[in-house]
């Protein structure tokens, strides 16, 4: 599949409460031992994809997926031509990931990751 889904993200209002909910519900190992308190969920050996569970500093809650793409800006431009809107321009989190986000025409939040960067968690 071109542009595969690499990562999921579930962001609530309270990181600890959201992490506890998904930890208990699905028996996930949620590791939030990092400066951002971002709960990293690692995929099992050959099943599923990794993701993250936490809180959005801006307060908005959302669930989204992240796809790998070769060119972040070209993908944002194409999304806009198709009726989407850019939410976050290409942004580098040093040593972790280069990513961007957009809303599709229905308002769904979608993330894109510079191909070759791997899982942002």
pLDDT tens sequence across 38-91 = 999 998 887 889 999 999 888 889 999 999 999 999 999 999 999 999 999 999
* pLDDT at residue number 18: 95
Summarize pLDDT for 3-15 with one digit per residue, the tens: 899 999 999 999 9
Look at residue 46 in the predicted model and tell me its pLDDT.
78
Contact 60, 12 (CB under 8 A): no
Model's pTM, two decimal places?
0.80
pLDDT of residue 119: 53
Angle (CA) 117 88 100, round 5° = 20
CB-count exposure of residue 103 (10 Å: 0-12, 13-18, 19+): middle
All domains of the chain in start order, with CATH: 5-114 (3.10.180.10)
């Amino acid at each position: 599949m071109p542009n595969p889904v690499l990562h999921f993200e579930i962001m609530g209002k309270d990181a600890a409460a959201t992490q506890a909910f998904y930890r208990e519900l699905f028996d996930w190992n949620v590791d939030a031992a990092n400066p951002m308190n971002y709960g990293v969920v690692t995929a099992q050996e050959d099943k599923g994809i990794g993701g993250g569970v936490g809180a959005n500093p801006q307060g908005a809650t959302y669930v989204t997926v992240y796809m790998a793409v070769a060119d972040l800006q070209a993908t944002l431009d194409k999304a806009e031509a198709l009726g989407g809107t850019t939410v976050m321009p290409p942004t580098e989190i040093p040593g972790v990931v280069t990513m961007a986000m957009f809303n599709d025409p229905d308002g769904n939040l979608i993330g894109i990751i510079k191909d070759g960067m791997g899982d942002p968690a």
